[in-house]
Amino acid sequence: MEGNRKLKVLHLISGGDIGGAKVQVLTLVKNLQKQNVEVKVLCFIKGIFYEEAVAMGLDIELIKQPSRLDMSVVDKIKAIVDSEEYDLIHSHGARANLISMLLKRKIKIPVITTIHSDYRLDFEDTFYKRWIFTPLNAIALRFMDYYITVSMELKEKLVERGFPNKKISYIFNGLDFESEMSYTPREEYFKRLNIPYDPCCIYIGILGRLHPVKGHKVFLEGAAEALKEAGHLRFIVGGDGIEIENLQKLCSKLQIEHAVHFVGFVQNPYDFFNAIDINALTSYSEGFPYALLEGAKMKKPTISSDVGDVSKLILSDRTGLLFPLGDHKAFGDHLITLGNSAERREQFGQQLFEYGKKHFSAVEMASQYHTVYMQVKGT
């Protein structure tokens, strides 16, 4: 950079994001400031992401966009880019990607996007969005100058779809393992959710939107298998979504309603992870999920489907247990194994925490993004 001038990056994101993308961007922006990068975030709706960014003291501005197709925001963003002399645009998500595509014709700086998940599956739970915004996002992505995926598998998918390999990097998600966590005590949390608490039970949790791609059917069928031999297991499902009625009906069919609790949207994930003994993930498609990193920070032993690049964090029989996609019986066997062994739960949880802290820190993630920024700006 010229003299001592910091690299200036403008991040664009909808502002209503929840889940992994929200955590990743907030964590990245916070830690980029330690890399001598000046960062500002522009949001288009006043949602959870926006509110948390404000609470964190991040430099964030709201430019209201009444609808996804209102592109009057493009000129407003251009004015900010020009007046504040940004070096790069970094886009996150379908809404921001479409805006970035139109903005790109009006500015002379590179536009980068992070692919947080398979963009072809992002709107599978809403018919009109799937048929309108999935194709629009696919088109917008073709106009970006550079791509960052959160897993090697996602990079390979982009290459298979014709995106230029030389313009794609993968950077695993990272988490601040050093920061303090705020969470509700376990018994108080259970009471708040009207869940009977029994200290003799082992609680298994899964946290994520209730969507077929998350494999909750596998979770419940595996639970039914495990309960045949381990009746002390209890299951907590965190998240909301289109599958709620189907999953509740499946519980009834499997006759496991007594052992399964649906708790809806979870505002603070650490409340949830503190309340469970075993963390589970049963997805059919993932990048590098924060639900596992956040569980790792809480030293929760983990059982996961062998999806995406999860095996980079969950090392089988060392930091957790893996099972083949869709194999509810293998999942059930793992539930029995960990559910019946306090020693293995403690061992896996501690080793997962140590491994995650060493290899998937927020500082390392930000450092890798900084390297990509400098590479792209220099091209």
List the one residue out of 137, 55, 50 whose CA is nearest residue 97.
137
Residue 86 · residue 8 · CB < 8 Å: yes
Same domain, 138 and 272: no
Has residue 36 got a pLDDT over 60? Answer: yes
Decide: 198 and 230 in contact? Cβ < 8 Å: no
Round the average pLDDT of the chain to a whole number and report it: 93
Cβ atoms 365, 172 nearer than 8 A: yes
Residue 227, classed as helix, strand or coil, is: helix
Mean pLDDT throughout 207-222? Answer: 95
Sheet with strand 278-281: strands edge to edge? 260-264, 233-238, 202-207, 278-281, 302-305, 321-323
Give yes or no: residues 288 and 163 share one domain. no
Above 70 in pLDDT, residue 3?
no
User: Do strands 302-305 and 278-281 pair parallel, antiparallel, or not at all (unpaired)?
Assistant: parallel
Whether residues 230 and 314 share a domain: the answer is yes
Average pLDDT over residues 54-73: 90
Q: Can you give the pTM of this predicted structure?
A: 0.90
Do the domain assignments include residue 239?
A: yes
Q: Would residue 180 count as lying in a domain?
A: no
Return d(Cα 357, Cα 363) in angstroms, integer.
10
**End-to-end Cα distance, the chain:** 14
Whether 339 and 202 share a structural domain: yes
Same domain, 78 and 121: yes
Three-state secondary structure string covering 32-91: HHHHCEEEEEEECCCCHHHHHHHHCCCCEEECCCCCCCCCCHHHHHHHHHHHHCCCEEEE
Q: Is the pLDDT of residue 25 over 90?
A: yes
Contact 81, 59 (CB under 8 A): no
CATH number at residue 135: 3.40.50.2000
Q: Does some domain include residue 2?
A: no
123 has a pLDDT exceeding 70: no
What is the rounded CA–CA span in Å between residue 170 and residue 146? Answer: 11
Joined tokens for residue 41? 């975030």
Query: Taking 80 as the threshold, does the pLDDT of residue 4 lie above it?
Result: no
Distance between CA atoms of residues 192 and 353, nearest Å: 28
Q: Name the domain count of the chain.
A: 2
pLDDT, tens digit, for every residue of 138-196?
Answer: 899 999 999 999 999 999 999 999 999 999 999 999 999 999 999 999 999 999 999 99
The answer to whether the CB of 188 falls within 8 A of the CB of 207 is no
Residue written as tokens 């020009």?
82
Considering the domain architecture, whether residues 52 and 150 belong to the same structural domain is answered as: yes
CA-CA-CA-CA torsion sign (154, 160, 166, 167): negative
Q: Are residues 265 and 366 in the same domain?
A: no
Tokens 């298994």 locate to 204
Look at residue 105 and tell me whether its pLDDT is greater than 90. Answer: yes
**Is the domain of 56 the same as that of 117?**
yes
Q: From 25, 42, 33, select the one nearest 8 (Cα to Cα).
A: 33
pLDDT in tens, 304-362: 999 999 999 999 999 999 999 999 999 999 999 999 999 999 999 999 999 999 999 99
Amino acid 88 reads L
Question: Residue 33 — pLDDT band, cuts 50, 70, 90?
Answer: confident
Predicted local confidence at residue 128, as pLDDT: 57
- How far is Cα 347 from Cα 114, in angstroms, rounded to an integer? 34
The pLDDT score that the predictor gives to residue 85 is 95
Strand partners, 238: 207, 264
109 domain residue, yes or no: yes
Question: Per the domain annotation, does 181 fall within a domain?
Answer: no
Q: What is the pLDDT of residue 127?
A: 61
Return the bridge partners of 62, or none: 43
Do the beta carbons of residue 122 and residue 94 sit within 8 Å?
yes
Co-location of 237 and 310 in the same domain: yes
Share of the chain above pLDDT 70, in %: 96
Judged against a pLDDT cut of 80, whether residue 376 lies above it is answered with yes
Q: Residue 196 domain-assigned? A: yes
- Residue of 285, 279, 227 whose CA lies nearest to 251: 227
Question: From CA 291, how far away is CA 352, in angstroms rounded?
Answer: 13
Are residue 17 and residue 146 in the same domain, yes or no? yes
Token pair, residue 180, equals 């303090």
Q: Are both 85 and 202 inside the same structural domain?
A: no
pLDDT at 139: 92
Indicate whether 65 pLDDT > 60: yes
Contact criterion met (CB below 8 Å) for 376 and 146: yes
Q: In this structure, is residue 229 part of a structural domain?
A: yes
H or E stretch at 302:
strand 302-305
Q: Domain range spanning residue 295?
A: 186-359
Q: Sorting pLDDT into bands at 50, 70 and 90, what band is 66? A: confident
Residue 2 has pLDDT above 60, yes or no: no
Please check whether residue 248 lies inside any domain of the structure: yes
Angle, helix 342-359 to helix 290-297, in steps of 10 degrees = 110
Q: Give me the DSSP letters along 9-46.
A: EEEEE-S---THHHHHHHHHHHHHGGGTEEEEEEESS-
Q: Which two tokens stand for residue 2?
A: 């010229």
Are 143 and 20 within one domain?
A: yes
pLDDT, tens only, 244-285: 999 999 999 999 999 999 999 999 999 999 999 999 999 999
